[in-house]
Structures are given as structure tokens and as C-alpha cells.
Structure 1
Amino acid sequence: MHKAQALLISFIFLVSGCLNSSVSDENDISGYEWWEVPLEKRYLMDLDFSSWRSTLPEKGPYNWTGPSEYFVQVELPLEERDAGYPEDPLMHVALWMPEVPEGTLVPVIATIHPYYEFAGSNPNTIPDLGIGQWVLEEFVPHGYALAQISTFGSGKSTHCQDVKGLGEQIGIQAAVDWLGKQPWSNGNVGLMGKSYAGTTNWEAAQNPSPHLKTIVPISGSIGVREMFYRNGSSESRAMLYDALYEGATAGATTDDMRMCSDDAIGPASPWTTYALAEYGGDQWNDYWDERYHLQDVLDNYEGSVYIVWGMQDWNVDPYHAFPTYQMLRDKGLNVKGIMGQWGHNYPDQPNVHENMSSGYGAEAFPKVTRMDWSIELYNWFNYYLKGIGTEPKSQVQIQRNDGEWHVEETWPSTDIEIHTHDVSTWGSMGTVSSSSSITLSSQPLESELHISGLPTFHAQVRANSCNGGQLFVTMLDGTSGLRLGHATMDLRYRDGGYEAKSVTPFATYTMQMEFNPMDVVIPEGHVIKLEITESGEDYLPSTCSSAGVTLVEAEQPLSLPIIDRPESDNRWFEVPAWWE
């Protein structure tokens, strides 16, 4: 008996030791170099959170010199040459170099945009606070060169400012090619930037230099029309976009009297698209097509892409990222994505993220801030620009609106289930106009819902006394009042996309609305609420706003992409707790 008890006690201690060892092993990262620590274990790292942005655990060994200034001669086709006060088209490059041993070739991380202005306090010879300063601090000491480049018509670059047009694209591509051909260069160039400086990444990849190996577009639009129109609904800023950019870099000098071929049609195109799309007002010239970047990228680019986006970005909405991510994957490219519940920001800006509003990212704070992002990019650039390490996985790291992060092989995930609700049973139908709206609410949910993807709402509507109309649909947690997402559509674009069709007054149509990308959770017992208005947020009312459209008494299907991720699912991961 005593012997049996002794054996039992020994067995218990043995099992206990094994279990403790297993737990200990799970939390042990001592066997990894800092850049090798897996994503799901990075929260265990002893990172430095005292800096203004994410920092690498180990500082690089090199000092740096710079900036040196260079002008790159660009060959432009005749139709892209400027008029007024023409001169040689030159791209201005400011360059910082690591002090590496003689004979060592280095890759380049470059950022390109029109916001460098020598008349003010932000010339491109001063590292900018978006990309330049951070790259100079974190990556140049590890053996990368930094280039800051002004687009045509800005800074010291000559030529006219052809806002995101063919001339600008050619200039960007020429500057990238020049960087890759320098005697100190290893021939590999990566681009990185946010907003306009993210769009230039796509521009460079449209007809890319063979030296362009990777791009990291951060909230960079895939096209100008795509930036301002969602299912035909127009943002208010679209009307003055081109004109404002032309004026932003103008001054009382002859270089600002140069004219691009598109300077006349650019400011007019948003107005004709808004008012006359169904009559060809969006197709009377090639202004929009010339500034749609993605198709050329799909046709011509063979490098890698790291897409960064805020799910609450209202400047360049996240629908630019999806389905772009999967389209690039389908082409055979290695593509990574990181999508948090921030706005038009970088992933590692806690001082910015803390100012988000409820329903617009606040609920995801503080986990929204990724102070391990520098490690992500260290591995990315090391592989694609230096050929060091293993190829990063194609995956999407995405954050739910309550702050929790999960990683998916693609997004929306392949295992989503579509839950369809007939919202005509949620309340009364009626007319939506500038003076009337509709609110619909579901029954309390029988279980928690994790919506992960782009919901659709196929609204059955009747045009009223006008040849158009618009719907703006806001989805909310009707119990807590929390905003979850939105969709908008102009009736002329009822099939989605960018092809306008005519509208006959009093005819019935199906508006195939698609919501912006959403990754949100609605608790059990809560209700889903739809607020349907004629316009909302930063979108213009339609030209038929006073007449509006009427939701008819018919099935009104709302389709929700749902995923099931139990807490034990290994796709959830914790982020480094910078706030503790």
C-alpha cells in the first residue's frame, strides 16, 4: 500500500514537472535570435518602448553621412513634356549613406512624395517624420541607404506637377532605376511611404525598374478615382483635389508657370463625373484610367508587397487593400498585410492612436499600437533587399474592433460563412432622402457574431421623381450604440464598380452595396442596427437628394461574412504590451 502511494506521488510529481516544463518552454524565447522570435511569442520580448516609434532591439553598427543631393535626368514622351516655361525634367534625390567598409554594396530604402518644399521648413534634405527620420535611426545603421525624393513639380524636382499621372509615374520609375544602378548600390531598392508617399509605391511598380524589389504602401491609394468614389458616391474633397495639389506647390516664380497636359481636364473631371456620369461624364477623357495604378502593377510587377492599412482610415479607405491583397497573391507575388484599427496613421504611433474616437478605433486601444513593427520590417527588408534569412510568409495580421489580433493566411479568410438576414423584417421600408431616413433593428442575437470581411446589402429600391439617388448605410451595435461599419452607393452605379448606368424615374432597381472592410464582434444578446440615410460622413449628397429613393416592400438581404475563432484558436496572438 505504501509502495503504491509512493509510486503515485512520484508519478504526480513527474507529470507536474512535465507540465511545468511545457509551460516554461512555451514562454522561453532564449533559443531565438531577436529577429527570429515568432509573431505569437513577440509579446515575451523585452523591447524598448521609450522611443517615439518602434525600435529595433539591437542598434546597427554603422554611422552615416549625408545628405548628398543629386538630379536624375528623365526621358519623357512628347505628350508628357510641359509647356509655359519648359526645362529638362529632373528628379531631385537626397541621399544618406551608411559608413560601411570599402567595397560593401548597400540596398536603398526610398520614400517619394510632393510634400518636400524648400521654401518652407520641410525640404527633402531633412529627414521627414513619416519615413525618413525613422529609417535613418533604425535601418541605415544596419547597412541601408535612405533616399528622399521629390515628385515632379515639387521641391527641387523640375517639370510640372502631373498629379499621379503618367509623367509623375515615369519620373518615379526613373529615380528608382538610378538608385539601383549606382556603383555603391547592391542593385536592390525598396519603397515605403504613407498616403501620397504610399501611392508612389504603386506608381513605381506600374512599369517597374528591375531594381525595384519590394514596396511597402501604407494607406496608399490604388487609383485617384478609387480614392474618391465608392460605388459612385463621391467624397466632397474630390471636387477640388487636382486643383488643390496644383496650387499647393505654386509660388511667384516661373517654374510654377509650367503646364502639364492634364492641368485643364484634371480639375474638371470630378465635376463631370459627379453630375453627368450616366452620360459619359466620367469617360470623356483618360484622366481616371491613367491614374488607376493597380492593373499595371498586376500586369508588370514581380516584386513583393507589404500592405499596411488602418481599418478606420477615412482618408484612404481600407477597401483599397481588399481585394487588392488577394489579387496580388493570385498573381503569384508574396504579399503581407498588417491592418489595425487605427486611422490614417502608422502602426507604431501610440501618441496618435490614443486620440481615436469611440466607434472609430478607440475600443482597440492600446493593443492597436504595434511596437514590434520595426522587427517586421527588419526581416522583410533583410530578405528582399539583402537576401538574408528566410522568405516571410504571405499572411494578414488583422485586428478586431475590440482590440484582439488574429493572423490569417488571407483576408477575408477562406473559412467564412455567409449569414443572410432579410432586413425588411427588421422594420418598415420607406423613402430615404435629404429629409427622411430609415432605421432597422434585428432581434437579439442568439450567439456572438464575429464579422470578418466585406458585408453586402442588396437593397431593393424604387427611383422617385429624379434620375438618380443614393444610400448611405451605417451598421451599429444597436444595444451599445457602437458604430461598426458603413456602405454607400449612388444608384447610377447600382452594380458596383465604376460603370455608370442611366436611371429611369419610378423604375425599380437592385443596389448591390458592399460595406467597407470590417473585423468586428457583436456580443450575444445584442442587436444589429442599420441607419439608412441619403448621405453620411464625408460623402456628398447625390444630385437627386431631395427626391431620394424608396426601399420597397420586398426581401432586403444583408449578408454578413462570419468566422468562428474560439479563444484557444492558434490564430489569435498577443502584441507586445508597450502600455504596461
Structure 2
Amino acid sequence: MLKKTTFLFILLIVFTFEIKAQETTKPVFKDGEAQIVEAFNTPEKWVRHDLFVETEFDTDGDGKLDRVHVDVTRPYQTDTEGLKLPIIYESSPYYAGVAPDVDGVFWDVKHELGETAKERAHPEVKRLGERPIISNSQIKKWVPRGYIVVHSSSPGTGLSQGSPTVGDDNESLAPKAVVDWLCGRAKGYTEPYGNEEVKAFWSTGKVGMTGTSYNGTIPLAAATTGVEGLKVIIPIAPNTSYYHYYRSNGLVRSPGGYLGEDIDVLYDYIHSGGEEPLVINNFKKVNDSDIPKAFKNKRAYSNAMVRDSEMKNGMDRITGDYNDFWAGRDYLNDMAPMKAALLMSHGFNDWNVMPEHSYRIYKKAKEMGLETGIYYHQYGHGGPPPISMMNKWFTHYLHGIENGIENEPNKAWIVREDDKMESPTGYKDYPNPDAEPVTFHLTPGAPEAGGLTTIKTQKQGRETLTDNYSFSGEALARAEITSHRLLYVTPKLKKEVHISGVPKITVKLASNKPAANLSVWLVSLPWNASRRAKTTDNIITRGWADPQNHKSIRESEPLVPGKFYDVTFDLQPDDQIIKAGQQIGLMIFSSDKEYTLHPKPGAELTIDLDGTHLTLPIVGGSENLD
């Protein structure tokens, strides 16, 4: 028999273990959201460390599988109490610094269409940052709520090995490798070339990704691999196709604010890695004869193989056509394996990464039967969903809390024109299910303004504009009389008009030259020129196209001067309410000073008014125009 003292001692031990079990720190949830837990909100005790995860590719020419640099920030209870938590993961090419802004870094846009511009400058990035911290983003927001935050530098940036390929497969496979490591399927090491392994013993194997712009592209890239464990992604203003970023319907078109940028410019901008010497051991992807005898380092190797070979041969600034190079950097083409839930976020007035980038992915994911949601606001680049919305998505898919988000009747949230970002209006879907296509036709009026009407009448004639890139789009829209654009406006609206969806236009035109830019703006008039005016006060949406690609964006053909062609294309998606008393204006012009190439002024575009029409998705249809 046990002695009394021994029995009491055993009881004390059991009681102590029960108390400790009760004191184990756990996430707390309220109203379907993870709450800040004081025991997690202790930055001075957070465990921070870094490692190098091995990928399945070699893109820096050393014959070894590339490793990407990863950092981890987690509550100390993951060490002291054996606590396992889900992960919020962000990856970026920007963490270690970017190239300086030097003269000549962008392509010269002042040349004739179809001509080659002079070679541009190639600035080198000076790498920033020290181990173990790659970034502090997301940490203060999510670690106190019971998550582990992980960052990684993209291939060829920071301390990550490999080459930056700007949208090619390794930028999908790199974050996949990190998710695989978090789920115990890939190897992590303490050093870039060492053999001491690191295990993610604190991971539940459930991962969510988020980020803005390029950092928002990478979650989608990872999700297209179908990697197990990546449960949900919240991309914010992501670039989902580099063709759609640098081209538009066959036209060489810059992203807003970066005239003359192209994919090779972005390559140089992010290439902060590859400073270590290159030791040539084994080349798997190219023949020995294709490789220069020596490179001073891996950066030089990547420049030669990626920027000066693959990109130079594939990007095609001459025709602007879509090709296999661009198809390989279009994530819409890679979505079949995707399983992660998707909450997209974008601004309707983002003229850098334009709103079509999110809509095209949201639409496809919805068709695939994935859990989807979309949040749009009326501002520019960036802008995450409200923290409460993000929290509910992460809480449901990563902590497994049944908060009903997958059953909500509204799949779209739109920040209305005068609302705050955290107060969007819910709709059943985007585009608004009550939107109906309404077709508008043109009546003459050049060089002033013609009419935009739902009534179609024949024999409206033809009108001609003369290209001149020196006038901005705003200046053309505000001009009372000018020969450098054609403008067609509706009567003053008797009541507000809600546009929701993707406008489409067909322009029947002839050019007096074999090539010409074609630009279209949809504007709200009169122009609000006050200092406090928002972009949404005037610009409804825009679009650009190359008339040479009237048959296909993969094949262009020189225009026969004087011959008319039908050019049909989508404008950027929008959801905007145009106030009563305003007029909707369709402006057709050639070179767009802020976006297109700048050929010598003088090209003439003649528009056949009878063959040109605009289709707008209007909530309530044509009846709402009365």
C-alpha cells in the first residue's frame, strides 16, 4: 500500500499539472474574431529567428537547389507551453532594398511605334537588412491575436538564393516551399549552405497569406500551386498578370506613375541578392556553350540569363503582342490546382495595378467553386479590407472557428463614394447582379462635344482627331474645343446612375499611318478642378488598345492607311455612382501622355460614328437613365 505522504505527494503533482493545464495560454475568440490576448501581446518576449528553406529549383547557376531566407516571429508560449498556432505569411522582393532612381533607368517613350528605343541604364541594388529580422510587417497586428508571423524574401532578393524572374515559376514555388516547411514537408536550415535542420514544431500546418502590390501577387502565386496547408489568401492590389501590367490589348502601356517602366526595369529594381561569388559546378537548364566563361557573382549570372536573355527576347516592346513569355507570367493560366479561399482587395482608381487584376482572378475563382469575396474601394493603389473582415477570414480558415463568413449572402463589399474604408456596403456579388448592359451611340460635335445617347440613328458621319501626346488626358477632357480628341457626352443626368461591372467599347476607326495608339477615357463632367476633388469626381474608367491587334492580342498587323477597322475591348472594371446633374463623357484620343509611347504628333484617327458604340453595365438598366 502507498504511504499517506506518498499518496498526498502524488495528489499534489496531479493538482499542479491540472493548474498548469488550466493556465496554458490559448487564443481567444469573440464575435467570430481572434482577440488580442495580453499574454501574447509581449513583444519583449516574442521569439524571433531566421532560417533558409530549400526549394525545388536552381535559378542562380550553381547546380544546387536554391534556398530562400525566412524569418519567424512567435509568442514565447510556443516554446514554454508547447503551444501550436497558425501562421500569417507575407513574402516580398522589397525587404532588402531596391535600386536607386537614376537617369535613364526607364525606357525612353519618345519614339515612333514599332521602333526600338535606345538602351536604358541598369542600376544595381545595395542590399539592406541584417539577420534575423527580414521585416516587421503584420507582426503587431497578428501575433497578439494568436498567430505566428512569417516573412520570406523572394528568390534573388536579400539573402534568398536564386534569380528574380518577375512572375515566372520560381516565384510560385518559393512560397510553396515555405508553406511545405511549415507543414513538415520541406527542409529548413540554420544557414544558407549548412546542414543543420530547423523544424517548425510550433506550426499547426494552417497558413494564410496576405500583402500589398507585389507582396499581394505572391500569395496568389503560391495558391496556384495548390500547396496543402495554404488555407486562405488576402491579396491587396495584386499584379495578377505582367502582360496586363505592362501592356493593354496589344499596346505598350506603362503602369500609372511609371512611364517607360517594363518588366526588365522591375527586375533591376528588386534584384538585391546574388552578391556571393558564383562557383560553376553543374548546369541543368542550359548548354555549357551558352554560358559565359566566368561571372563575378550570381547577380551577374542572373542578369545575363534572365534579364538580358529571357526577358529581352520575350518582352517585345516592338509589337506589344501577347506571347508565351507573357502567358507564363499570367496567374489566370495557372489557377486549376488552386484550393485556398480568396478575399481580393483593390481600388477602383488604382491606375498602377489596375482593378482588372483582382476582378479577373475573383471571377475565375468563383467559377471554380472556391470560397471567394471581393472588397473594392474608390481610392488608388493599396488599401486593405477592414481589420475586422480580415480577422474573420483568418479566424475561420486558420483557427477553424465557425463564424459563418462562408455563408454570408454578400460576396462583394464596395466602399461607396463618401464612405470610410472600414464601412463598405455589402452586395450579393460584383458586378452588381442588378446591373444590365446599356448601349450608347455617338452623334457628331467635333471639335467641341458630340452626343452620347441610347437612341441609335444612322448616317452620323465621321470625325477625325489629330494625335499630340503633349496634351494630358485631363487637359483634353477639360478643353472646350480641341482637335486632339473626340468627346461625346450624355445630357445632364436627371438622377444618379450606378455603374457596376466592366464597360466595353467598339471603335470603328481608320488611321493615316500603319500604327497608332488608341486611348479611351470615360469621364464625369463638368470637371471638378477644386483642390479637394477626388479622382472619382471625374474619371470613371479608362482603357487602351492597339488597333493593329483588332483581330487578336497575339498577332498584330500594320494598318492600311484609310481602311476602317473594328477595335473592341474592355475598359477597366468599376463600381461608381454618378451624381444627378453630371454628364457622362466618352473621350477618344490617341497617345495618352501618362501611359503610352509618345510618337511624333500628327497621326490622324478617323472615327466612324455609326460603327462605334459603348456598353455600360448600369444598375437598373436603361430605365434608370430616364
Q: Report the TM range for the smaller structure's normalisation.
A: 0.7 to 0.9
1:111–1:126 distance in 2 versus 1, CA, 3 Å: same
- Does residue 1:442 correspond to 2:498, yes or no? no
Query: 1:398 maps to what in 2?
Result: 414
1:374 to partner: Cα distance: 1.4
Query: 1:227 maps to what in 2?
Result: 245
Considering only CA atoms, is the larger Rg found in Structure 1 or Structure 2?
A: 2
- Does residue 1:262 correspond to 2:306, yes or no? yes
Pairs within 5 Å for 1:169-568: 169-181=172-184, 182-236=200-254, 237=259, 239-246=261-268, 248-250=270-272, 254-259=297-302, 261-269=305-313, 272=316, 274-277=317-320, 282-283=322-323, 286-297=324-335, 299-347=336-384, 373-392=386-405, 393=408, 395-403=411-419, 405-424=424-443, 426-427=450-451, 429-435=462-468, 436-464=484-512, 466-481=513-528, 482-494=538-550, 500=556, 503-536=559-592, 538-541=594-597, 546-564=602-620
1:551 to partner: Cα distance: 0.4
**Cα separation, 2, equivalents of 1:395 and 1:170:** 30
1:219 to partner: Cα distance: 0.9
Give the letter aligned to residue 346 of structure 1.
G
**Cα separation, 2, equivalents of 1:136 and 1:291:** 30
Query: 2:155 maps to what in 1?
Result: 152
Cα offsets for 1:391-424 (capped at 9, x unmatched): 4136111123344842222211222122221123
Q: Conserved in 1, the CA contact under 8 Å of 2:242 and 2:263? A: no
Q: Conserved in 2, the CA contact under 8 Å of 1:412 and 1:452? A: yes
1:92 to partner: Cα distance: 0.7
Give the letter aligned to residue 605 of structure 2.
V
Give the letter aligned to residue 73 of structure 2.
W
The share of aligned pairs that are identical, in percent, is 25
Q: Specify which of 67, 88, 93 is matched with residue 70 of structure 2.
A: 93
Query: 1:35 maps to what in 2?
Result: 31
Query: 1:114 maps to what in 2?
Result: 93
1:527 to partner: Cα distance: 1.9
Q: Specify which of 32, 36, 55 is matched with residue 74 of structure 1.
A: 55
**Cα separation, 1, equivalents of 2:171 and 2:581:** 53
**Cα separation, 2, equivalents of 1:34 and 1:203:** 32
1:216–1:71 distance in 2 versus 1, CA, 3 Å: same
**What residue ranges of structure 1 are gaps of 5+ in the alignment?**
1-32, 38-55, 348-369, 566-580
Q: Conserved in 2, the CA contact under 8 Å of 1:151 and 1:171? A: yes
CA RMSD of aligned residues (A): 2.9
1:245 to partner: Cα distance: 2.1
Cα offsets for 1:445-500 (capped at 9, x unmatched): 23321111122221111232x22322212222223442322222111233576554
Query: 2:118 maps to what in 1?
Result: none
Give the letter aligned to residue 434 of structure 1.
D
Q: Conserved in 2, the CA contact under 8 Å of 1:398 and 1:407? A: yes
2:367 counterpart SS class: helix
1:219–1:36 distance in 2 versus 1, CA, 3 Å: same
1:91 counterpart SS class: strand
Deviates more, 1:182-191 or 1:443-452: 443-452
Query: 2:84 maps to what in 1?
Result: 105
1:502 to partner: Cα distance: 5.1
**Cα separation, 1, equivalents of 2:579 and 2:269:** 49
Give the letter aligned to residue 307 of structure 2.
D
1:501 to partner: Cα distance: 5.0
Cα offsets for 1:218-243 (capped at 9, x unmatched): 11111211211222232235654324
**Cα separation, 2, equivalents of 1:195 and 1:146:** 19
Q: Conserved in 2, the CA contact under 8 Å of 1:235 and 1:538? A: no
1:434 to partner: Cα distance: 2.0
Give the letter aligned to residue 544 of structure 2.
T
1:461 counterpart SS class: strand
1:539 to partner: Cα distance: 1.6
2:523 counterpart SS class: strand
1:441 to partner: Cα distance: 2.1
Q: Conserved in 1, the CA contact under 8 Å of 2:71 and 2:134? A: no
Q: Conserved in 2, the CA contact under 8 Å of 1:470 and 1:549? A: no
Q: Conserved in 1, the CA contact under 8 Å of 2:498 and 2:619? A: yes
Give the letter aligned to residue 56 of structure 2.
E
**Cα separation, 1, equivalents of 2:466 and 2:309:** 32
Give the letter aligned to residue 412 of structure 2.
V
Cα offsets for 1:361-399 (capped at 9, x unmatched): xxxxxxxxx7xx111111111111111123413611112
1:337–1:554 distance in 2 versus 1, CA, 3 Å: same
Deviates more, 1:87-96 or 1:239-248: 239-248
Cα offsets for 1:173-199 (capped at 9, x unmatched): 111211222322111111111111111
1:144 to partner: Cα distance: 0.9
1:82 to partner: Cα distance: 2.8
Give the letter aligned to residue 296 of structure 1.
D
Give the letter aligned to residue 456 of structure 1.
K
Q: Conserved in 2, the CA contact under 8 Å of 1:194 and 1:217? A: yes
Q: Conserved in 2, the CA contact under 8 Å of 1:534 and 1:541? A: no
1:421–1:264 distance in 2 versus 1, CA, 3 Å: same
Pairs within 5 Å for 1:116-135: 116-117=95-96, 122=129, 125-126=132-133, 128=135, 132-133=136-137, 135=138
2:302 counterpart SS class: coil
**Cα separation, 2, equivalents of 1:562 and 1:452:** 6
1:451 counterpart SS class: strand
1:114–1:553 distance in 2 versus 1, CA, 3 Å: closer
Q: Conserved in 1, the CA contact under 8 Å of 2:93 and 2:157? A: yes
Deviates more, 1:467-476 or 1:201-210: 467-476
1:123 to partner: Cα distance: 5.3
Cα offsets for 1:342-378 (capped at 9, x unmatched): 211223xxxxxxxxxxxxxxxxxxxxxx7xx111111
1:553 to partner: Cα distance: 3.9
1:444 to partner: Cα distance: 2.2
Q: Conserved in 1, the CA contact under 8 Å of 2:127 and 2:158? A: no
1:400–1:485 distance in 2 versus 1, CA, 3 Å: farther
Cα offsets for 1:195-220 (capped at 9, x unmatched): 11111112111213211111111111
